[in-house]
Structure 1
């Protein structure tokens, strides 16, 4: 049986999300659907828990690639600093702190053999050579917050860090209902999945 016109028009996935993902792939982003992701040691993303809003495997690989001359201890300390729990901070303050680390690099100290410390700067993103970075757009990513488990439509990861959250809405929605629902959707992950919002640079809503 052929699909109904109503079903086609009502499909956010078919005429909103899929075209948007196709456009991102044209721009050089890789795409993966994580709806069936299973946390654990065998997980390709490196996530051992849905409480991790970042992708450990991609973050570790990016830190090694962007900082080839730094010792492993420096990269480990940098990863721990940028992904540490900031839930006790005001969301705006936590976001500002992490974005400064992403923009300027992560300062770390590493003890030398003589007992003194070296002050090192670990790069998180290569701002000069954009192609050196890892761009991944992931659909249906499960995130555990303090209160709820959420699954945002699409998250854009840069070097394993969630830097943007994209939310689609079907075109048949009335504008008032669309904006009200969207605002509620944006607010809910912000409250219940604060880990996701810490490193986010922007959130985008699209409606075809």
Structure 2
């Protein structure tokens, strides 16, 4: 009988990622003192040359000096707060980096993109193991890191299930240690994956252990068999190129909430980084696809590669193939209690705003308390929505808010 070891779990993960089209690199080879160095120091966590090449490839109309300035801007992120750094980077990554360029003697504003979100395959995907990072004389070596265009977007920590002391919880604790000792690596992090070879879960850098969740489908059509390892399902379902790029762009939110100390009156604002669960990801993509068809918008616009294009028939329910394009019947997303309905609506709104070039979204509820609760969730997620939601106080205000040509997220009760 073959004994499971941490090394064999690592090799299995790398093999799966290799099949998904990632380039495998043994990190000591690209270390400053390696055979083919790609880092100047062990403190450097970005693979700069890969990032420069990607920025040049994706932003052909931007001059070289503006491209270089954009890369410098992400290297300058240096708040003492890890989550603040991560949020600042995520904003630049998903909204583009503002730069100035000369056109016919005039200065014009433009944006530099670090990732090609429109074409996931135009990016450089690397899986590296044993990547040593030194910070403040502390030396740490995460198991596996996924780089996209030289940016360390995913950190994977693996433990050996055969060792009773090495549980998935100890993988989580190891990540917590990395966050405190080599925080620079996590400035650029999209999310974290922890596994003991049997259980595998993903979560954000602000998530507690209980918030890490399994990815239960490799293709979005059906839940994976219990006979297939969770590690394999997560890698195939969540870390394939299209899904990873889609998750980073549309399915991460930094939720803000205020809390007032009743004694001192001091208000503190806390930020939580939230990542969509697998059912939210697939449901939102189906809802966006159905909305584009029902609105007729999809006729003129090409559906993005990352959109899940599975018909409802595969679920044993009536499909929409016979429904005419532009019939304005988008459909219903059926939820269970506690499945994260509010966040699913936020993710849907954030994605449809971009897909349909800033339509007006009206959110209708049947209770004031539900209206307030949902509004608070949307108001806490302004970055993803790219605008401030508004709550209509009465019919007249609602009519005024709906007079706009396009844009706006408006809340009202029936």
TM-score range, shorter chain: 0.7 to 0.9
User: Aligned match of 2:174 in 180, 185, 189?
Assistant: 185
Deviations along 1:37-60, whole A, 9 cap, x unmatched? 4417x9542x11111111011000
Q: Distance in 2 between matches of 1:73 and 1:113?
A: 17
CA contact (8 A) 1:50 1:142 kept: yes
User: Aligned match of 2:96 in 97, 105, 121?
Assistant: 105
Distance 1:108 1:203, change over 3 A: same
Aligned twin of 1:52: 44
Q: Distance in 2 between matches of 1:52 and 1:29?
A: 21
Paired residue secondary structure (2:147)? strand
Shift of 1:119: 1.5
Q: Distance in 2 between matches of 1:53 and 1:69?
A: 28
Aligned twin of 1:17: 10
CA contact (8 A) 2:77 2:88 kept: no
Give TM-score, length-normalised by structure 1: 0.86
Highest relative contact order (Cα 8 Å, sep 6+), 1 or 2? 1
User: Aligned match of 2:114 in 96, 99, 124?
Assistant: 124
CA contact (8 A) 1:9 1:170 kept: no
Gaps of 5+ in 1: none
Gaps of 5+ in 2: 198-414
Give TM-score, length-normalised by structure 2: 0.45
User: Aligned match of 2:22 in 21, 25, 29?
Assistant: 29
Residue correspondences, number: 197
2:83 corresponds to 1:92: yes
Aligned twin of 1:141: 131
Shift of 1:177: 4.7
Paired residue secondary structure (1:35)? helix
